[in-house]
A and B are shown apart, each in its own frame.
Chain A
Amino acid sequence: MILAEIKSKSELNIINSDAIVINIAHFSSPSDSLISINEAKEIIKESTKPVFLKLLPLYKDEDYKELENLFKEIKGISGIIFQDLGLISLKNKNIPDALMIYDSNNFITSSADSSFFKDDDVEALTLSTTLSLKEVDEVLKDTSFKYMVHTFGYIEMFYSYRKHFTNYSKEYNIINLKDDYDVYIKEESRDEYFRTLENDRGFYIFRDKKINLYDFLDHFKKCDYLLLDRIFINDEEYFDTVNLYKGLMERSEYISKYKEKFDTGFLFKIVKKTY
């Protein structure tokens, strides 16, 4: 199932994914496709496809009252893509039929992880974004659990509670870059420009290149959910990418239009352990 994010109800009829992913302002992060609760309710009501809500922050107790109210508002949602394991009980209490897809960015690294979740009403686990192709194959080869994988987009590689842009602006009395979606940071000795975002939920650093694992879909055929991340991607490219994954656009046409070599993330990188 191809999961794609939408920015508004008006995109319901033009996006060709199998399922819709929405991000709700104040609760979802990081995202540049935020919608209101009311619009989310309309999307849930009108969509003919499953609708998933992305809730990737780690929350504190003060957030839980608001989250409970949110869950009551969005009854009918098909599922929630989440990281905070406390949300499972909140979901069970308020929207028991919603499917829960756990996405911790890099905690799911072996098929043995699924045994921990098997009694938890978790629909699927999201593969770590730091796995090599060989490791992906190992996880998926003998599992009966469902998995999701990020196959496209800018992958988050740092998530902090600290307000680093706000703090920096106060320390040096300069302009605050909070909520600015067009900021990059560069480590002094490297030629890589990392997209960076601070919002009310925290501070995020993303990889410099967007991944596109399209050429390796054979390896992910046992994944039930392929998620196409939208943050920082322009609308036309995003819709084309959805069409590429749905077989509605030729790979050659896509390549010639975007003139990009697909970045494969960690699929072919060898990451060292030190023990």
Chain B
Amino acid sequence: MKTELLMPAGNPEKLKFALMYGADACYIGGKVLSLRAQASNFTMDDIQEACLFAHERGKKVYVTVNVIPRASEISLVKDYLIELEKIGVDGIIVSSPSILKIAKDNTNLHISLSTQASASNLNSVEFYKNKGIHRVVLSRELSLDEIEYIRNNTDEELEVFIHGGMCSAWSGRCSLSNYMSLRDANSGGCAHSCRWYYDIYKNNEKINTEIFKIGAKDLCAIPQIERLVKMGIDSLKVEGRMKSVSYVSTVAYTYRRLIDDIYDNQKRSDDYYLSLLGESVNRESSTGLIDGINDESKTLYSKESSLATQGFYAVVLDYDKNKKEALVEVRNYFEPQEEVEVLSPGEDIKSFTIKYIKRDGEIVPCARHALDKVIINSDIKLKKYDIIRRKAK
């Protein structure tokens, strides 16, 4: 089986883009029992529609049911899981012992153990395998060698995080948010307290001159993908249900190309794939702990550097090949006379210059309003879901 590329999707639009841009599967959250509660998430109807969209394309949808539920929530679980199975989801992602048990007892759903459970060794993977859990999402603290050891010694499906935001703690082993913000991190309320600024005190005196930070840089494991694929990891997972359409599309596009190139024995340099990611990498990143190096290069010491993704200009809705014009939906401000790039599923990145922008049949000086529909020229044949973005410098 070819290694699966598993992308996050915070809403139905992101799911479509992730799948169109190369994901083999998406993981999504429902309105209940899912972490990343601030992602807009999916209603049951949305989930059903997502499954139809995915299955028509030979792809999969997993639903995260990864909260640690309190006693008062347990009554929700059984009916919710049965409903998910009924509408055809391909699997669920779970960390709570109670939800794992309810899922096993009442459904035939494919169950992935969430990284929240921090399975960090062969014995713990085998423990869950013996419980009938189909796939284990390994702890994000493991190195390639450690992952390979587990891979070589179990036939359990294994999933590894390769890209996106990281917990600074072992996943699920943090209640900073509960204590400092009264927001339950294991019920979707994480306040990201690990990214706040701290001072250090000893003998009642502040001893630091630089702010003490413990936040983790984002993960970008492009240099490690080839080995993960070749060792037979079943699924490579990207974090980011809160991230934008642009992010999801670009990251899916990049890793799709990388994985396919590895299978085709045509892998290019890591720099090439990093360049494809372009502006979608909007925070400092590192290869995380997967390279086996647990040092200062993995901590986010600089001021939070979350860059706006204003280079994402528009999404193509339709193309008139006779007029050589595209109907696009605006996402960020852009003007004519700018050379832009086209990100198109499965194709090389191309560029062209926007010569004019028309709105309601009239030439306008710029595309100003997000979600406005405007017409732009393009000699390149564009397709629905193509992304128009600022040209990388």
Which residues of A pack against B, CB within 8 Å? 58-64, 84-90, 104-113, 115-117, 128-131, 135, 138-139, 157-164, 166-168, 170-172, 174, 177, 180, 182-188, 190, 192-193, 196, 202-203, 205, 207, 266, 269-275
A84 (CB) vs chain B CBs: closest residue? B124
CB-contact partner of A58 in B98, B170, B197, B206, under 8 A: B170
| Chain B hits for A108, CB < 8 A | 97
CB <8 Å contact, A177 and B200: yes
Q: How far is the CB of A77 from chain B (nearest CB, A)?
A: 19
User: If the complex has contacts A107-B172, A162-B294, are A130 and B31 also in contact, measured as CB distance less than 8 A?
Assistant: no
B49 contacts the other chain (Cβ, under 8 Å)? no
- How many angstroms from the CA of A138 to the CA of B189 in the assembled complex? 22
B179 contacts the other chain (Cβ, under 8 Å)? yes
- How many angstroms from the CA of A242 to the CA of B226 in the assembled complex? 56
- How many angstroms from the CA of A190 to the CA of B149 in the assembled complex? 44
CB <8 Å contact, A275 and B37: yes
Q: How far is the CB of A92 from chain B (nearest CB, A)?
A: 11
CB <8 Å contact, B187 and A207: no
- How many angstroms from the CA of A187 to the CA of B181 in the assembled complex? 12
A164 (CB) vs chain B CBs: closest residue? B214
| Chain B hits for A116, CB < 8 A | 97-98, 100-101, 131
CB <8 Å contact, B69 and A110: yes
CB <8 Å contact, B201 and A171: no
A207 (CB) vs chain B CBs: closest residue? B179
CB <8 Å contact, A130 and B189: no
- How many angstroms from the CA of A193 to the CA of B126 in the assembled complex? 40
CB <8 Å contact, A272 and B189: yes
- Chain B, 95-119, contact with A by CB distance < 8 Å: what is the 0/1 string? 1111011100000000000000011
CB <8 Å contact, B97 and A88: no
CB <8 Å contact, A60 and B126: no
User: If the complex has contacts A84-B121, A86-B127, are A205 and B74 also in contact, measured as CB distance less than 8 A?
Assistant: no
Given A107-B186, A109-B69, A182-B202, 19 additional A-B pairs, CB 8 A: A64-B123, A86-B122, A106-B175, A106-B186, A107-B172, A109-B71, A110-B69, A113-B98, A116-B98, A135-B71, A158-B168, A160-B168, A171-B301, A185-B200, A185-B212, A205-B176, A266-B178, A272-B184, A272-B189
| Chain A hits for B298, CB < 8 A | 162, 167
CB <8 Å contact, A187 and B197: yes
B189 (CB) vs chain A CBs: closest residue? A274
| Chain A hits for B186, CB < 8 A | 106-107
- How many angstroms from the CA of A180 to the CA of B207 in the assembled complex? 14
CB <8 Å contact, A162 and B216: yes
Q: How far is the CB of B373 from chain A (nearest CB, A)?
A: 33
Q: How far is the CB of B136 from chain A (nearest CB, A)?
A: 11
| Chain A hits for B128, CB < 8 A | 85
- Chain B, 169-210, contact with A by CB distance < 8 Å: what is the 0/1 string? 110111110111011101111000110111111110010111
- How many angstroms from the CA of A160 to the CA of B214 in the assembled complex? 10
Q: Which of A61, A139, A185 has the most CB of B within 10 A?
A: A61
A275 (CB) vs chain B CBs: closest residue? B37
| Chain A hits for B69, CB < 8 A | 109-110
Size of the chain B interface, CB-CB below 8 angstroms: 84
CB-contact partner of A161 in B38, B149, B212, B289, under 8 A: B289
Q: How far is the CB of B65 from chain A (nearest CB, A)?
A: 12
Query: In the complex, which residues 345-369 of chain B have their Cβ closer than 8 Å to any Cβ of chain A?
Result: none
- How many angstroms from the CA of A90 to the CA of B121 in the assembled complex? 12
User: If the complex has contacts A84-B121, A187-B197, A271-B178, are A161 and B31 also in contact, measured as CB distance less than 8 A?
Assistant: no
B141 contacts the other chain (Cβ, under 8 Å)? yes
Query: In the complex, which residues 228-266 of chain B have their Cβ closer than 8 Å to any Cβ of chain A?
Result: none
CB-contact partner of B173 in A60, A135, A159, A167, under 8 A: A159
29 A–B pairs (Cβ distance < 8 Å), ordered by A: A59-B120, A64-B122, A84-B121, A85-B119, A89-B127, A90-B123, A106-B68, A107-B95, A109-B68, A109-B70, A109-B71, A110-B98, A111-B71, A113-B98, A129-B175, A135-B70, A158-B173, A158-B176, A162-B289, A171-B296, A180-B202, A182-B203, A183-B200, A205-B176, A269-B182, A272-B182, A274-B188, A274-B189, A275-B187
CB <8 Å contact, A163 and B121: no
- Chain B, 294-313, contact with A by CB distance < 8 Å: what is the 0/1 string? 11101101000000000000
| Chain B hits for A159, CB < 8 A | 169-170, 173-174
The 7 A-B residue pairs whose C-beta atoms are closest, nearest first, are A86-B123, A112-B98, A86-B124, A116-B97, A167-B296, A274-B37, A138-B71
Q: How far is the CB of A133 from chain B (nearest CB, A)?
A: 12
B174 (CB) vs chain A CBs: closest residue? A158
| Chain A hits for B176, CB < 8 A | 157-158, 205
CB <8 Å contact, B189 and A273: yes
CB-contact partner of B101 in A59, A107, A115, under 8 A: A115
CB <8 Å contact, B184 and A59: no
A128 (CB) vs chain B CBs: closest residue? B68
- How many angstroms from the CA of A163 to the CA of B211 in the assembled complex? 16
Q: How far is the CB of B47 from chain A (nearest CB, A)?
A: 15
CB <8 Å contact, A187 and B180: yes
CB-contact partner of B96 in A113, A161, A182, A266, under 8 A: A113
- How many angstroms from the CA of A168 to the CA of B212 in the assembled complex? 7
| Chain B hits for A184, CB < 8 A | 200-202
Q: How far is the CB of A134 from chain B (nearest CB, A)?
A: 9
B23 contacts the other chain (Cβ, under 8 Å)? no
| Chain A hits for B71, CB < 8 A | 109-112, 135, 138-139
